[in-house]
Amino acid sequence: MPDFPLTLAGWQDAYRAGATPESLLTDLLDSFAEQDNAWICRATTIQLDAQLKHLAQLLEQAQGDSSKLPLYGVPFAVKDNIDAAQWHTTAACPAFGHVAQADATVVARLRQAGAILVGKTNLDQFATGLVGTRSPYGAVPNSFDPAYVSGGSSAGSASVVARGLVPFALGTDTAGSGRVPAGFNNIVGLKPTKGWLSTTGLVPACRTLDCISIFALTVADADLVAQVAGGFDASDAYARRNPQRAPVAIATAARLAIPDRLEFFGDSQNQAAFEQALVHLREQGATLTPIDFAPFRALAQELYQGPWVAERTVATEGVDPADMDPVVRAIVANGHSYSACDSFKAEYRRAELARLINEALADFDALVVPTSPTIRTQAEMTEEPVLFNSQFGTYTNFTNLADLAALAVPAGLRDDGLPSGITLIAPAWHDRALADLGRRWQASLELPLGATDKRLPLASGLPRSTDCVRVAVVGAHLSGMPLNHQLTSRDAVLVEQTLTSPDYRLYALEGTVPPKPGLSRDSDGSAIIVELWDIPLARFGEFVAEIPAPLGIGNLELAGGRWVKGFICEAHALGRARDITSFGGWRAFIGAQSSRPGQA
């Protein structure tokens, strides 16, 4: 297969270098192997031409500036339980297949950003399974060793990303289908907060729990795709608006929870890989604290051993059981054994366990677990299709029931050459914070991208989040200072220490408790040291409400011309204040006073 770009940046670079979407995408489709059962269908010439025409229209609307289209000409795939207009949707059940009349909301948003759909991918039928083998189109092999399972149910989407056929693909995740295949194929699997990515146009598995997920080779790419595809959709009854109260990053000294008891079902290689990942996290500065994992295990068992399985029964009403995979048929049929009373009792139990889980995570930045405790061969899966599938869900099944966000990331290759992965889990809407931690984690490892021989490109930071306000603090709110807790208690995260432009003067205000400085713009000034903090957008008002006169928040110019919100001071208070500009910053001034008692 010819070399094609692997990441979003690679595709953008190729177009900037003169390649055209027509030539590059035609060559890409021509390179796909005819017998590759990761695909259920691929774009026809007519479908590709229609999308290229639409892309040209989008470019014209952008006045020829492709940078206004964040996914310009980027190919992608979708799991074949997600609708694309005029494409068949089968959910891996040919008898169920139908031609979709409209794009799923997420597909429409991706296409509007310039992305080109090149195919729909294989899955465990009706997204019921974590194995990738329950499909009439064939079992999708692991991209590292075809004797092993690929993981499911989003098997095909993970496979085509891992092999570099597309830079990203959509999957779904109800019980771990967006994470287990990522772990088994050395790629990133982003399982978003429920309700962030619309499920309009998705064939449901468990409608109250379903999430559309994203596979990519890098955390940065997965995050960018999520930002494009996500957002409130009134047509989805389970969509939610982001309350914008969660942190958007995680400090280097991350506070991470780990299960107090770990189960690997005899897989010593996965156990060794996870233990090594914990060592690496500590080396990166993280603190790891064991927590009681019993509520997580108890909730995980509810998904298939409780009445939630009846949601799968509802989702497949009207489908002839004879047309179903035998294992899927047995699972779906089990939904009839539960009563309405059972459902309410289970919901009460779910709420109780979810509360315990979220309380357990409240003092941590994230929970770290193995993505899967073990991996199995396709032959083994044939012998124990239900038991081994259940094992794969040990660290995934509870996530949506507890309303958590998750990010599966590569963690290294085992001694036998198979991938291992870890998953970072946090409360709802902490997706961006997990992406920040995951990006740093991935950058710290020298791993190949998926099953390719290429390495992670030079790491860069995530684009600035729109869910926060960046504020420059100059005095008592600096790290370690008396009022810094007003930031940290609101999940604000330190971004960097930097300087203002050289047009400011700093004053020690009279009579303030604790002592505070005042910053004033002055053309005859100097650069002053400040810290930049990102405060969740919905908590910014709380923070500002605590700022006493004569201080306030205004616009502050930084060195290099950037502007942020920052502390300013009313002019009337400066007449009685001491000019301390020469110190270059509040910390140096306070340090000087500490060494000279009695000096004001």
Give catalytic residues, as residue numbers: 79, 153, 177
Task: With beta carbons less than 8 A apart as the criterion, state whether 473 and 547 touch.
Answer: no
Q: What are phi and psi of 78, to 5 degrees?
A: -130, 145
Task: Give the number of residues written for the chain.
Answer: 600
Q: What distance in Å separates the CA atoms of residue 389 and residue 385, rounded to the nearest whole number?
A: 6
* Residue 214 token pair: 């994203």
Distance CA 456, CA 446 (A): 8
Most distant CA atoms of the chain, gap in Å: 89
Judge contact between 144 and 173, C-beta under 8 A: no
**362 CA to centre of own chain:** 19
Distance, CA of 600 to CA of 597 (rounded, Å) = 9
* Side chain identity, residue 400: N
What tokens were used for 92?
């891996």
Under a CB-based contact definition with an 8 Å cutoff, are residues 177 and 196 in contact?
no
What is the Cα–Cα distance from 429 to 187, expressed in whole angstroms?
Answer: 22
> DSSP label at 448?
B
Buried b / exposed e along 264-273 (16+ C-beta atoms within 10 A): beebeebbeb
Residue among 322, 330, 324 at smallest CA distance from 92: 324
Report the candidate in 151, 224, 214 with the shortest Cα–Cα distance to residue 185.
151
Alpha carbons 410 and 596: distance in angstroms, whole number: 53
Is 344 in a helix, a strand, or coil? Answer: helix
Burial class (CB in 10 A: 0-12, 13-18, 19+), 248: buried
